Amino acid sequence: MHTENSADDRTILVLNSGSSSLKFGLFRHSGDDESLLLEGSAEGIGRDDGSLRIKAPDGQVLVQQERVLESQVDALQKLAQVLTEQHHARPSAVGHRVVHGGPHLREHQRITADVRRQLHDAVHFAPLHIPPALALIDEAEKIFDDAPHFACFDTAFHATLPPRAAHLALPRRYAEAGVMRYGFHGLSYESLVTRLGADLPARAVFAHLGNGSSVCALRDGQSIDTSMGLTPTGGVPMGTRSGDLDPGVLLYLMRVEKLDAGALETLLNRQSGLAGYADGESDMQALEKTRSSGRCQCVTRARCVRDRRAQDHRRLCGVAGRNRFAGVYRRHRRAQRRDSQARVRRAGFHGANGKRSGGQGEGDSHRRGKADRAALPHAAAANADRLTFTLP
């Protein structure tokens, strides 16, 4: 039997939908504070090595399954079952991370029929992300039909991009049709701006590292330039995504290889980036472990990905200004973080490890901000380590 929410003690469910994962957290809001009730993630959705893990705030594992998860909907249904079994109150609100809202949805907002229609219209901007997000929203609204649902857009944080950064070198009519630089990982960056608070320099550069990676230049806490563009495929090379390419490469693939749009999409989003460099392996940590197995060539080629990340970081440092920079590396990938720190230091920056913001460990970033916003952007990413770089 579910417990009920009082007016001053509300429960908020946050769903962070990725291309092959689903992270979630359940939080209780009371007064001006939020406390974690449970959290978890479904990784490797659609793969044979998929897993589902749900744990309590003290780290106690409530669910641990190594299984094939066909979709994010499967993981959500299991989460709903656990909420019932643990006698948690039904959520007062549900927040959904949505990667791309197209040219018209540039603010976090409650999901209505019109918002849903505009999301359907924007599918071609992020065909790998928006359809599963819509399916998840549909299922969540069925399961939690008595709670308002909110869409939190990764692109919203970058709505402050100036025209020089947002516009592509194409005729104006394409920009009017929405073909422009949007930027992504905005929920991650927005969360970090809030968490750093007064410690955030006026000019800063953030880096989000993981299977999807990007770099963002900020001035006075607002995005002024970023590595990703029209879609999450652009920018630095990622786990399986190509990042930026010479447009002539695409023309070559169309003319010589006879690839159509679907084949190009699969190539650029599923078979490129680190996986393209390293014969299909998209995990940098796994590659580092192959040093002793004679695959050093793959490791060497994979370092090209890190070189590109460092190049984009230095470029955006120039955009942000040359007085002071802060580089914040999201995701708990220690090898990548150490490597990025060393490369930026060689470029003339001094780096220092920062303590994990909040001091309460994984999931603490979800508990920042006001009550209504807790169902929105700040619950998008967790467990950030901080590096700060300053020019001498």
Residues with active-site annotation: 154
Q: Where are the alpha helices (DSSP H) in the chain?
A: 72-85, 113-121, 130-143, 163-166, 172-176, 186-196, 247-255, 261-270, 273-277, 284-288, 296-320, 334-346, 371-374
Q: How far is CA 371 from CA 27, 95, 109, 194, in A?
A: 10, 12, 15, 14
Nearest to 1, CA basis, from 94, 91, 83, 93: 83
Distance CA 387, CA 206 (A): 9
Distance CA 47, CA 246 (A): 31
Is the CB of residue 309 less than 8 Å from the CB of residue 329? Answer: no
On the 0-12 / 13-18 / 19+ scale of CB atoms within 10 A, 47 is exposed
